Amino acid sequence: MVKKEEILDILNKYDKDITIATLGSHTALHILKGAKLEGFSTLCITVKGRDIPYKRFGVADKFLYVDNFKDIAKEEVQEKLREMNSIIIPHGSFIAYCGLDNIENNFLVPMFGNRKILRWEAERNLEGKLLKEANLRIPKRFKPEEIDRTVIVKFPGARGGRGYFIANSKEDYYKKINLLKEKGLIDDKDAENAHIEEYVVGTNFCLHFFYSPLKDEVELLGIDRRYESNIDGLVRIPAKDQLDIDISASYVITGNIPVVIRESLLPEVFNMGDKLVEAAKKIVPPGIIGPFCLQTLCTENLELIVFEMSARIDGGTNSFMNGSPYSFLYSGEPLSMGQRIAREIKLALKLNRLEEIIS
C-alpha cells in the first residue's frame, strides 16, 4: 500500500508551481479547464489521436504522450509526472487503465482525494456495505436461483452500463449470461461476480456532491440523468413493434442530460450526501474527499433509492461544465466540478493544508 508519508515526501520536494494532471478521457475537459481558471498549469496524459479535443479547446498547457493508456502505471511515466510537480485528478477512465492494485500499491504520484476509497465503489460487496452503513435505501439483491421478479444484472468496474441486462427468471438470467460470454462481452470472472438487483421503476437522478474537508461541508453541485444505448432508442418504438424486432436491450451510457429535482426533495438529497460522507469517515478513513455521486431512482412515492455510487468525479459532471443551477447558488457564478476541485487545492495551498486532501 502506498503510504501517506511517501506522498508527503514527494509533495515536499515540489516547488510552488503545481501542475494539475489527468488522463485525457472521461471528465478531463472540465478538470483541466477548471484548473486553468484557478491559475494552475495543466497536463493531459494521452495517446496520439486522442489529444484532439484538449488541443482544440485549449485546456491543456502540456501533454504527456504514452503508447497506451495503461502505460500511466509505468515508473518512467510516474517519474515524469513527479518532475512536473503533478497532482493527479482520478476519474473513471484513469482508474480503469491504471488499475486499482497499481493505484493502491505502486502509483507514487500525489493524487487528489482518498485513493483507498476507490475500491469501495468498484467492488459491489464493498459498495453495498458502505451504502448500508450510511443507512441509504438500496435495491434488494439476489443470487441467480433466488430471482423471483424483474432484475437488472450488472458487472464489476466502471463499465458505463456495458453488458447490463434485464432478466425475469433464473432461466432467463443464465440464457443471457451465456449469450454475453459467447459474444466476448464478459468472461467467466465477470459472470461469477455478476451483481443482480431488483429492477426499480423510477426517474433516474444522479446527484453530484463535493465534500470539502477544509470547510467540513457537503455541497450539491449538480444533477444529471443518462442517455443509454440502445434502450433509449428502443423505448421510442411502439410496444407492438418492439415485439417484432430481435434486438436485445443494452444500457451503455452515451451521454448526459442536466436536470433539476423538485425542490421539496432537496432536504433528503442533502441528507443522503451527509450520511454517506459520515459513513465513509468511519469505514475508509479519512473518507470521501472532493467529488462523489449517488445514482438514484425516484419512485412514484418520492423515495430516492441508490443503485450505484461513485467515490470520485463522475461522468455526469460533464453536463454542467459551465455550472449548474445548484453550483450557481453557492457563489453566483458558473462553477464546474473541475473548477471546484482546483479551488479546493488552491485553498489547501493557501492554508498550508494540502496533506488533508491528497493521498
Are 129 and 276 part of one and the same domain? yes
In whole angstroms, give the CA distance from residue 353 to residue 289.
13
Q: For the chain, what is the mean pLDDT?
A: 94
Are 126 and 275 part of one and the same domain? yes
Examine the fold and report which residue of 182, 198, 214 is the final residue of a domain before the chain moves on.
Answer: 198
Residue 265: count other Cβ atoms within 10 Å of its Cβ.
15
Of 21-25, 32-36, 236-240, where does mean pLDDT reach its minimum? 236-240
Establish if 275 belongs to a structural domain.
yes
What are 56-73's pLDDT values in tens digits?
Answer: 999 999 999 999 999 999
Are 44 and 67 part of one and the same domain? yes
Q: How confident is the model at residue 191 (pLDDT cuts 50, 70, 90)?
A: confident
Residues in the chain: 359
Asked if pLDDT for residue 280 goes beyond 90, the answer is: yes
Asked if pLDDT for residue 160 goes beyond 70, the answer is: no
CATH assignment of the domain containing 223: 3.30.470.20
Are 99 and 45 part of one and the same domain? yes
Are 91 and 79 part of one and the same domain? yes
Could you tell me the pTM of the whole model? 0.92
In whole angstroms, give the CA distance from residue 166 to residue 150.
7
Compute the radius of gyration of the chain from its Cα atoms. Answer: 21
Q: How confident is the model at residue 9 (pLDDT cuts 50, 70, 90)?
A: very high
Domains of the chain: total: 3
Are 153 and 17 part of one and the same domain? no
Establish if 243 belongs to a structural domain.
no
Asked if pLDDT for residue 217 goes beyond 80, the answer is: yes
C-alpha cell at 9: 515526501
Are 61 and 190 part of one and the same domain? no
Q: In the prediction, which pLDDT does 83 show? A: 96
Are 214 and 327 part of one and the same domain? yes
Highest mean pLDDT among 122-126, 167-171, 208-212: 208-212
Q: In the prediction, which pLDDT does 232 show? A: 81
Asked if pLDDT for residue 270 goes beyond 90, the answer is: yes
- Domain that residue 159 falls in: 141-198
Are 177 and 207 part of one and the same domain? no
Of 34-43, 83-92, 168-177, where does mean pLDDT reach its minimum? 168-177
Q: In the prediction, which pLDDT does 16 show? A: 77
Q: Percent of the chain scored above 90 by pLDDT?
A: 81
Q: In the prediction, which pLDDT does 159 show? A: 61
SS3 content of the chain, % helix, strand, coil (to 5): 40, 25, 35
Are 160 and 296 part of one and the same domain? no
Of 174-188, 301-315, 333-347, where does mean pLDDT reach its minimum? 174-188
Are 30 and 85 part of one and the same domain? yes
Contact 44, 64 (CB under 8 A): yes
Over residues 337-358, mean pLDDT: 97
Over residues 157-172, mean pLDDT: 80
Establish if 67 belongs to a structural domain.
yes
Establish if 239 belongs to a structural domain.
no
CATH assignment of the domain containing 186: 3.30.1490.20
Are 103 and 128 part of one and the same domain? no
Residue 66 pairs with which residues in a beta bridge?
Answer: none
Establish if 356 belongs to a structural domain.
no
Establish if 170 belongs to a structural domain.
yes
